[in-house]
Amino acid sequence: MATHSLLAPSAAERWINCPASVVMSEPFPDTISEYAAEGTTAHKLAELKIRSSILGEEVDGKEVDKVKRSKYYNPDMEDYTDEYVEYVRSLVNSNETTVLPETRLNLNFITQGTVGTADCILAFGNELHVIDFKYGKNVEVNAQDNPQLKIYGLGACNLIDGLIYNIENVTVHIAQPRMNNFSSMTISKKELKDWLKDEVRPQALKAINGTAETAVGNWCQFCRAKTVCRKYGERFDVDYKPDNPNTLSNEEIAERITRLSGLDGYLKDLKKYALDKILDGETFPGLKAVAGRSVRTWTDQEEAFRIAQENGYDHSVLFEQVPLSLAKVEKMMSKRKFNELLSDYVDKPPGKPTLVSENDPRESIVTESVDNDFTDVDINKIDFD
């Protein structure tokens, strides 16, 4: 039986579609990535801005200093959090609007002990708005039918409805400024409650009891159990068809590219899993652990360089001076300052052709002249997930 805390709203798409993943993920630690830590810093900064600039609260300077001293803080974070705060401000209807930034939600209606935090809740008239601030810049998130947001919508209804407001409709929003991605979806309170009753609770029950079969889909990319999941692994099984002609057709190649797009990551995960287990004493037929290639490092670089200089090796031959990359200069200055001072000296040539799924929103670049020239295609950048 799974612990309730594993039914996190942020993983709702996964556990609603594949409830079996909850029990299967339990042996695998949930690590906090650098991206998540950066997101936490940005959320804190955004909350302080909402408190001071929308709610007119006096914000403790020490809290602001603490955010700015974080190793994840950089000047661009100011611009992106400003964009999020402006989005929230644009939704504030009047002085009568209740604004609740970073609000802890009791989600016991899913299972006892489930909690979540809404980035910002707004309530006025019979409307409720829940805004989710995404700081990531790699995976675009959409508000449409987003289970995490719908759960927050239910949690916010639970908190507010019937007190001062009689909520009829809930609008959930994604604000993802680093991808210039803002979207929303409105749903009635009744539809949300029906969804909870008909889909969420039955799937949550299966997840807690561990009584479900695995179901593969886009949600697998964030599943900690995918290394040991049989059904996920079957996706990469090669289907030999000896009766076929010697050469693969374009259709077969396209099918393989689509199906095997996560193979690099999957193989890396499998290797890490097997190595950890071998180091713990388990065996995997035909495999063993050995010491990898080792790289020499200084025990005391300062002293070593002092001796080298004493013996005639000048500072200029021991040290390299390398210019910062364009991205690092921009990060150091902030986007705004960079554009103001240096934008005239920046060129952005067209990107190298990259193969993606036909569902990708970017426009196809194929013209007559490049139709038969794929020599420059970067096959490491095939992006189907």
Compare residues 187 and 274 and give the one whose CB is closer to ligand SF4. 274
Among 37-45, 51-59, 224-232, 324-332, which window interacts with ligand SF4 (CB under 6 A)?
A: 224-232
User: Should residue 261 be labelled a site residue for ligand SF4 when binding is judged by CB under 6 A?
Assistant: no
For ligand SF4, how many residues bind (rule: CB under 6 A)? Answer: 16
User: Should residue 207 be labelled a site residue for ligand SF4 when binding is judged by CB under 6 A?
Assistant: no
User: Should residue 377 be labelled a site residue for ligand SF4 when binding is judged by CB under 6 A?
Assistant: no
The string over 72-87, giving b where at least 16 C-beta atoms fall within 10 Å of a residue's C-beta and e elsewhere, is: bbbbbbbebbebbbeb
User: Should residue 225 be labelled a site residue for ligand SF4 when binding is judged by CB under 6 A?
Assistant: yes
Compare residues 200 and 223 and give the one whose CB is closer to ligand SF4. 223
For the chain, the C-alpha Rg in angstroms (whole number) is 26
For 257-269, give the secondary structure using H, E and C: HHHCCCHHHHHHH
Residue 148, number of CB atoms within 10 A of its CB: 20
Residues 6 or more apart whose Cβ sits within 8 Å of residue 40: 72
User: Should residue 22 be labelled a site residue for ligand SF4 when binding is judged by CB under 6 A?
Assistant: no
Q: Which of 4, 14, 43, 206 binds ligand SF4 (CB under 6 A)?
A: 14
Q: Report the C-alpha gap between 133 and 85 in whole angstroms.
A: 9
User: Should residue 266 be labelled a site residue for ligand SF4 when binding is judged by CB under 6 A?
Assistant: no
* Ranges of H-type helices in the chain: 12-17, 20-25, 34-49, 61-69, 75-91, 147-160, 189-195, 201-209, 230-234, 250-259, 263-279, 301-310, 315-318, 326-333, 335-342
Nearest partner of 133 among 234, 15, 45, 70, judged by Cα: 45
Q: Which of 2, 8, 12, 20 binds ligand SF4 (CB under 6 A)?
A: 20
Compare residues 123 and 223 and give the one whose CB is closer to ligand SF4. 223
User: Should residue 232 be labelled a site residue for ligand SF4 when binding is judged by CB under 6 A?
Assistant: yes
Compare residues 16 and 167 and give the one whose CB is closer to ligand SF4. 16
Residue ranges that bind ligand SF4, judged by CB under 6 A: 14, 18, 20-21, 24, 214-216, 219-220, 223, 225-226, 229, 231-232
